[in-house]
Amino acid sequence: MSAMLSSAEVRECSIADPRASLAMARRLREIGVSAGDRVMLKADNSVAFVAALFALLHLDVSLVLVDHQQAVAESRHIIDLTRTSWVLLGDGIREPSGARVIRFERLLDGTAGDAGPERLDLDRWRSRGDALIAWSSGSTGRPKAVVRSGGAFLGNIERTGRAMAYRRTDMFLPLLPFSHQYGLSLLFLAFLSGAGLLVAPYRRLDLALRSAHRATVLDATPATYRSLVSLLERKPELRSGLESVRLFCTGGAPLDTRFSERFRAALGRPLLDGYGSTELGNIALATPERPVGCGHPLDGIEVEILRDDGGVAAAGEVGEVVVWSPDAMEGYLRGDDTVEPVQPPPYRTGDLGYLDDRGHLFVVGRKRAVHRLGHTLYPEVLERKAEAIGRPVAVVPLENERRGCTLVFAVEDPDTGDARMWRARIGAHLAPYESPDHVVVFGRFPVNRTGKTDRAELRRMCWEAVFRPSEAGVPVDAEGDARA
C-alpha cells in the first residue's frame, strides 16, 4: 500500500479495515514506541496519517496533535512542555529538536498489511487520562494545551454519531485538517460507524470535487462553503458531482442566516451547523430532521445562556453560552507536566449565543465587549446584524491613543464595491450608537490554516487601511472609508 498523497489526488481509506493501522503499529513497536509514551503527530492529511493515528491509539500512547504548518520553534516549545518522547513527522516537514523523530509515511511501504488474529483495540487508550493533548483555538491569547481523557473524547464521538445517525454505507469527505478538533472527530466518526473516508486536498476545491460524487457526508468550515457556492455559481455543471451528498455539515465559526439561505438555494439541501470546542468536543448539532441553528445539545449535555448579571437569559436573548458536559477536558497542561483541573461545572465558554423557544442553540461569536458612547457592544453581535446586507462582515475594534476605540466594519465583496454604499446599507440595520467609524472593503478576507477568517491578519489589514492609508496605498474617501 502506498501511503503518499499527491496534491492532486483523492484517496479512499477504509478505517474499519484495521490492516494498515496494525501494520503501522507493529513497525512503530519495533522502533521502540510503547504504551504510555508521549508522542507528537505532525503531518498533513494523508492515508498514512489515518493509519498512524489509529496505530498510536492501538499502542496506548498519550497523543500530542499539532498542525503540520506549525513553526519549528513552536513545536520545540510544545515538545518541552508536554515532555514528548517521539515525533511522528510527515515528509517535507522540518525536524524539531528535543525528541526522537520517525518519518512515518513510508513505514507501510513493502508491508503485506495482514492483520492476522489481532484487532484494532482502543480500550486501553479509552482508559487513559492523558489520551489526547490538543490545543485551544488561541482566539483570546496563546493556545493552551488541552488534556482530554480517552473516555471523554470517545464518549463525545459516540454521542455525535447517535445524533447524526451515520451509516455504514456513508462516505465521509472532510475538507478540513485532521490535526484539529473538527477534522479529528470526523476520522473517529467514520471509524465507529464503519463508514468510508475520502482523503482529499482540502485547500483545492476544484480537485476535491473530482471525487465528491462518491461522498455522502461533506464537512467544511463556512469559509470553505462560501468558496464552494461561488465556484458552483460560476460553474453550475459541477453541481452534479455533489448529488450523492446527503449531509452537508459545517462548524468551527459562526454561520450567518443569509448564507444558509443562499446555500440551500444553490444546492437544494440545508447546511447543518454545529457547535463545539477543543475543551468539550461537540456540544450541539443541527440534524436533517431539525436543521435549525446549531440544533439541540447532544444527549447528556445541557446548555444555558447567562446574562451579564448572571441571570438565565430568556428565549432569544443573547448571553454567554455555558455548558454542563460529561465529556469535558481534564484541564490545561502546566509546564511541570501536571494538569490544572477544570473548575466545577458549568463550563463558561466565552461565546455569545441564544436559545430559541424550542431549545435550538444559535452561536453568535466570542464574548469580546467594547464600550462606546455609554453602551456595551459585542462586535460579533454587530456582525450578525450587519450581514443582513448579504455580504460577510467582520467588526474589528481598533484602539487608538488619540481616538479611543474605533469600530471598523470590514466587508468582503469580490467586486470591491464602494465603501460609502456599504456604509449606507449597514447603517439601515444598526442603531446610531452601533454604526461604523470606518468601512473597509476587501475582495476576500484572509483565511487561516483551519479555514476560519484570520482575525489577526484582518486586524492588521484594517489598521493599515484606516490609520496608515498612504503607506498601504489604499484609496480613502472623505469619510475615512476605504477600498482595499
Check residue 137 and give its pLDDT: 67
Task: Kindly list the distances between the CA atom of residue 9 and the CA atoms of 198, 210, 343, in Å, as whole numbers in the listed order.
Answer: 10, 9, 45
Q: Which amino acid is at 342?
A: V
DSSP H helices in 83-221: 123-126, 150-164, 181-193, 205-208
For residue 466, the surrounding DSSP H or E stretch is helix 455-467
Show the CA angle centred on residue 39, arms to residues 33 and 40, nearest 5°. Answer: 140
Residue 130 reports pLDDT greater than 50: yes
- The CATH number of 11-355 is 3.40.50.12780
Of 42, 63, 183, which Cα lies nearest the Cα of 122? 63
Q: What is the pLDDT of residue 287?
A: 96
pLDDT on residue 111: 57
Fold match between domain 11-355 and domain 370-483: no
Query: Would you say residue 196 has pLDDT above 50?
Result: yes
pLDDT value at position 6?
40
Return the higher-pLDDT residue of 469 and 253.
253
3 state DSSP class of 383: helix
CA 228 – CA 477 distance, rounded (Å): 33
Give pLDDT tens digits for 448-473: 877 778 888 998 999 888 877 544 44
Give me the chain's average pLDDT, please. Answer: 88
Can you say whether residue 423 is alpha, beta or left, with left for phi > 0 and alpha for psi between -120 and 50 degrees?
alpha
Task: Band the pLDDT of 117: cuts 50, 70, 90.
Answer: low
Question: Has residue 341 got a pLDDT over 50?
Answer: yes
Q: Is 297 left (phi over 0), alpha (psi -120 to 50) or beta?
A: beta
Question: pLDDT digit string (tens) for 79-96?
Answer: 999 999 999 999 989 999
Bridge partners (DSSP) listed for residue 202: none
Q: Is pLDDT at 127 greater than 60 in this prediction? A: yes
Question: From CA 302, how far away is CA 284, in angstroms rounded?
Answer: 9
Map residue 474 onto helix, strand or coil: coil
pLDDT digits (tens, 9 = 90+) for 364-390: 888 887 877 667 788 888 988 898 898
What is the C-alpha R_g of the chain? Answer: 23
Q: Measured in whole angstroms, how far is the alpha carbon of residue 174 from the centre of its chain?
A: 11
Cis peptide before 346 (omega within 30 of 0): yes
Q: Phi and psi of 170, rounded to 5°? A: -75, 155
Q: For residue range 212-237, what is the model confidence (pLDDT) as tens digits?
A: 888 999 999 998 998 899 888 888 88
Tell me what percent of the chain is helix, strand and coil, each rounded to the nearest 5.
30, 25, 45
pLDDT single digits (tens) 351-366 = 999 999 999 999 988 8
Distance of CA 285 to the CA centre of its chain: 14
Using DSSP's 3-state secondary structure scheme, residue 424 falls into: helix
Local confidence band at 209 (pLDDT 50, 70, 90 cut-offs)? confident
For the segment 2-29, what is each residue's pLDDT rounded down to a tens digit? 333 344 567 777 776 788 899 999 999 9
- 198 backbone dihedrals φ, ψ, rounded to 5°: -105, 125
Is residue 218 within 8 Å of residue 10, measured between CB atoms?
A: no
At 80 the three-state DSSP class reads helix
Q: Which residues on neighbouring strands pair with residue 312, listed in sequence order?
A: 306
- Residue 125 main-chain phi, psi, to 5 deg: -65, -35
Which CATH number applies to 370-483: 3.30.420.10, 1.25.40.340, 1.10.10.350, 3.30.300.30?
3.30.300.30
- Supply the pLDDT for residue 432: 85
Is residue 95 classed as helix, strand or coil in its secondary structure?
coil
**Chain segment 409-424, per-residue pLDDT in tens:** 999 998 888 899 999 9
The better pLDDT of the pair 136, 477 is held by 136
For the chain, give the percent of residues with pLDDT over 70.
90
On the question of pLDDT at 480 being above 80, the answer is no
pLDDT band at 146 (very low <50, low <70, confident <90, very high): very high
What are the residue ranges spanned by the domains of the chain?
11-355, 370-483
pLDDT for res 403:
54
pLDDT of residue 324: 97
- Asked whether the predicted pLDDT for residue 154 surpasses 90, the reply is yes
Give the pLDDT of residue 253. 83
